[in-house]
Homo-oligomer: A and B are copies of this chain.
């Protein structure tokens, strides 16, 4: 993998990457490639889905974005918050997300990792469910 602090010699500053990076920056929480595609479009930029995927892959490799996979097998990306650890409570229905924190989890994560001999720990916790509004008896999915 790339060494930290050493910029990639083959990295060009393109309009597309800037747009993607910006969308990633503006996004609060995880986004699928498609969502990012839409975000970029809404921002008035035109970037191909392919480029979204390739750039995301590139950023992930550089460790600038975290990648998770949902139960549906979809990849979701988030700007990697170096050192910062905040989690989200995401509504499956409306997408509303609440930021949550809990020192215990942080503690548990680093502790567990250490027990397994892991270092340079970073963790991600995402809780999916239906928010109060969406789980009302007369709401649908």
User: Which A residues are closer than 8 A to B by beta carbons?
Assistant: 1, 63, 66-71, 73-75, 89, 91-93, 98, 100, 102, 104-105, 108-109, 112-113, 116-132, 135, 141
Contact = CB atoms under 8 A, between A and B. Distances in A.
Given A123-B127, A125-B109, A92 B1 contact: yes
A103 B131 CA distance: 23
Most B CB contacts (10 A, CB to CB) among A92, A118, A126 go to: A118
Nearest to A115: B100
A132 B104 contact: no
B129 A121 contact: yes
A1 B129 contact: no
A1 B141 CA distance: 6
